[in-house]
Amino acid sequence: MIPIYNTSQIRNLDSFAIKRLQVPPIVLMENAAIGIYQSILERVENPKSIGFVCGKGNNGGDGYTVARHFSNAGYDVKVLSIGSNDERSDNCKTNFTILKELSSHRKNLQIKPLNNVKNISWLKDCDLIVDAIFGSGFTGELKEPYSAYVKALNKFKAFKCAVDVPTGLDADKGYGNVIFKADLTVTLGEFKKGLFIGKGYEYCGEVELKEIGIGRDYFDSITADTYLIEPEDVYFDIPQRGKSVHKYSAGKVLTIAGSYKYPGAAALTSKSALVSGAGASLLAIPESSKKLLNKELLEVVVESYGDVSTKYFNESALEALKKKINWADVVAIGPGLGREEETVKAVKEFLLQKKFKFAIIDADALFAIDTNFLEKTNLKNCILTPHLGEFSSILGIKSEEIEKDLISYGRNFAIKYGCILVLKGAPTIIFNPDGEAFINTTGNSGMAKFGTGDVLTGVIAAMLSQNKNIETAAIVGVYLHSLSADLLLNEKPISNYLASDIIKNFPNAVKFLEESIV
């Protein structure tokens, strides 16, 4: 796992370097600038003209320093400076002064004040633009004139690099109203949470870490609670089969899913459980829907309930399935189940009775859950897999509000209700009852399609049926499900593959990971 930190923890790094290690702050800025300079040149070969927009704080100071390195190397550099020397931080002022003096006798270095959005057009012909306006300390909403500056910069076709954090992004919460759209973000000291979630995931582009020249001594003494998932974390937790395993000891999954209206979701979930390694996959579906199932569902055992007039899961069906619920290692419930009143009652009763060993609660089953209901039960041994809209419905809070502090809402929910929360999105984040969050690092926008969530439910259920660890099952399932989608990009355009393709490709994802690590 790669730990990621709060901005307050990272800001303390500067204090540690300056006070404990006696490193002059101007040296830290110089080290940071060298790293940024190198990172940019690794991605942009021989830029003809480079534009910088530099603010008044230390982020602006980093920008001025990077601009000097490019000018020293002979590149044409244009710098728009914000504010006066009286407003600049000490280190920012020092590096601005150096750059200003150099510009007085260099033809390849020009500096102009930025006091009007029209000045931004001076950079329109640059093929590289560096944002050094605000750093990791920014919170709230980006206001004028800065929002106008950023909107204008975002219109340019140049390769864009953000210094530490894109301007307008809250580096803790991954949120902002107007954000610089970077192709590359070179972050300093350590990874920051907001770069990988919410709007940060969308606006940061590639994120590269550069140290400031003092090693990791400071961070080795700090405990993180949020992590990026690495391939090794998944590889070593993929369930392994012993020589004497049989179909029932390899994991038994019962999928309670589907209805007369939505039989397809049930097929996707139950089949993906089998393909993902479960030894036995049993699908419980209304009798009226049995004939609607895909004929390819040969290996899945289908157990219907009710009669030809039964179209939805209900309390009598729950009673009829009692033995199968007890039989299963994992019950996956929800995909295509429907939201009829009788179904909602049955799902609630399923959770209240708690006769299952482990349960994956997804899709329509989530519709039965809200905070009032949760006061009557607990979610121990449960994995909930909502997308943002479903999570919003459970909490009774607008999605827009949750997005402003995604990590906190997810973390608090998992702690309060003692469950694993898989908050599906770009990226998907897994939360555990101990308050830890794990951010998935695989996946692509081609997954934004009907059925992919139903497949994920089956994958996680299969993992859980084999390893009996809800946290590990969620992490491994989410990662491999998205990796399968990533590998499809070698075969199909990003918008043209289906959820069923992810199932078919799943064994290739496992094999790819195994071969990559070994």
Give pLDDT, residue 296.
Answer: 60
One domain, residues 364 and 475: yes
One domain, residues 286 and 212: no
Q: Do strands 49-54 and 252-256 pair parallel, antiparallel, or not at all (unpaired)?
A: unpaired
Indicate the SS3 state at residue 142: coil
Which residue pairs, CB below 8 angstroms and at least 24 apart, start in 198-203?
Answer: 198/173, 198/174, 198/403, 198/406, 199/169, 199/174, 199/175, 199/403, 200/166, 200/169, 200/171, 200/174, 201/174, 201/426, 201/427, 202/426, 203/166, 203/169, 203/176, 203/179
Among the listed residues 246, 242, 243, 253, the one whose alpha carbon sits nearest the alpha carbon of residue 280 = 253
Among the listed residues 169, 145, 355, the one whose alpha carbon sits nearest the alpha carbon of residue 256 = 355
One domain, residues 182 and 293: no
CA distance 390 to 128: 41
Angle at 424 between CA 420 and CA 429, to 5 degrees: 55
* Side-chain half-sphere CA neighbours of 373 within 13 A: 19
CA distance 435 to 211: 28
Among the listed residues 137, 189, 164, the one whose alpha carbon sits nearest the alpha carbon of residue 23 = 189
Q: Do strands 301-305 and 280-286 pair parallel, antiparallel, or not at all (unpaired)?
A: parallel
197 within 8 A of 429, measured Cβ to Cβ = yes
One domain, residues 218 and 145: yes
Contacts of residue 42, Cβ cutoff 8 Å, sequence gap at least 6: none
One domain, residues 105 and 244: no
Among the listed residues 325, 435, 423, the one whose alpha carbon sits nearest the alpha carbon of residue 383 = 423
Which element (helix H / strand E) includes 161? strand 159-163
Q: Which of 224, 254, 282 is the last residue of a domain?
A: 224
Indicate the SS3 state at residue 144: coil
Burial environment of residue 493 by CB neighbours within 10 A (0 to 12, 13 to 18, 19 or more): exposed
131 within 8 A of 166, measured Cβ to Cβ = yes
**Length, in residues, of the chain:** 518
Among the listed residues 316, 349, 491, 334, the one whose alpha carbon sits nearest the alpha carbon of residue 424 = 334
Angle at 429 between CA 426 and CA 431, to 5 degrees: 165
One domain, residues 216 and 269: no
One domain, residues 310 and 203: no
Give pLDDT, residue 135.
Answer: 86
Question: Three-state secondary structure along 425-489?
Answer: CCCCEEECCCCCEEECCCCCHHHCCCCHHHHHHHHHHHHHHHHCCHHHHHHHHHHHHHHHHHHHC
Burial environment of residue 143 by CB neighbours within 10 A (0 to 12, 13 to 18, 19 or more): exposed
Query: Alpha carbon 155 to chain centroid distance?
Result: 26
One domain, residues 213 and 237: no
One domain, residues 305 and 268: yes
Strand 2-4: give its sheet, edge to edge.
2-4, 226-228, 437-439, 429-431, 420-423, 382-384, 359-361, 330-333, 252-256, 280-286, 301-305
Domain count, the chain: 2
> What is the radius of gyration, based on Cα positions, of the chain?
27
Q: Which of 224, 252, 285 is the last residue of a domain?
A: 224
Angle at 318 between CA 475 and CA 297, to 5 degrees: 60
One domain, residues 128 and 29: yes
One domain, residues 265 and 216: no
CATH number of 459's domain: 3.40.1190.20
CA distance 193 to 396: 25
Q: Is the peptide bond before 493 cis (omega within 30 degrees of 0)?
A: no
Query: Alpha carbon 128 to chain centroid distance?
Result: 27
Give pLDDT, residue 336.
Answer: 93
For helices 452-467 and 470-488, give the axis angle rounded to 10 degrees: 140
Backbone angle region of 31, left / alpha / beta, with phi > 0 → left and psi within -120 to 50 → alpha: alpha
Burial environment of residue 263 by CB neighbours within 10 A (0 to 12, 13 to 18, 19 or more): buried
**Along the 518 residues of the chain, how does pLDDT read in single tens digits?**
999 988 888 777 767 777 767 778 788 889 999 999 999 999 998 899 999 999 999 999 999 999 999 999 999 999 999 999 899 999 999 999 999 999 999 999 999 999 999 999 999 999 999 999 998 889 889 999 999 999 999 999 999 999 999 999 999 999 999 999 999 999 998 899 999 999 999 999 999 999 876 767 677 778 889 999 999 999 998 888 766 676 676 789 999 999 988 888 999 999 999 999 999 999 999 998 887 776 666 677 888 888 888 899 999 999 999 999 999 999 999 999 999 999 999 999 999 999 999 999 999 999 999 999 999 888 999 999 999 999 999 999 999 999 999 999 999 999 999 999 999 999 999 999 999 999 999 999 999 999 999 999 999 999 999 999 999 999 999 999 999 999 999 999 999 999 999 999 999 999 999 998 86
Q: Is the peptide bond before 145 cis (omega within 30 degrees of 0)?
A: yes
Query: What is the DSSP code string of 320-348?
Result: HTHHHHHH-SEEEE-TT----HHHHHHHH
C-alpha distances in angstroms, 229 versus 93, 196, 264, 298? 40, 12, 31, 35
Which residue pairs, CB below 8 angstroms and at least 24 apart, start in 379-382?
Answer: 379/351, 379/417, 379/418, 379/419, 380/418, 380/419, 381/356, 381/357, 381/470, 382/351, 382/358, 382/419, 382/420, 382/470
Q: Which of 224, 243, 259 is the last residue of a domain?
A: 224
One domain, residues 493 and 346: yes
Among the listed residues 396, 360, 410, the one whose alpha carbon sits nearest the alpha carbon of residue 225 = 410
For helices 264-275 and 452-467, give the axis angle rounded to 10 degrees: 40
User: What does DSSP assign to residue 93?
Assistant: H
The residue segments making up the domain with residue 475 are 231-517
Within the chain, how many helices (H) and strands (E) appear?
19, 18
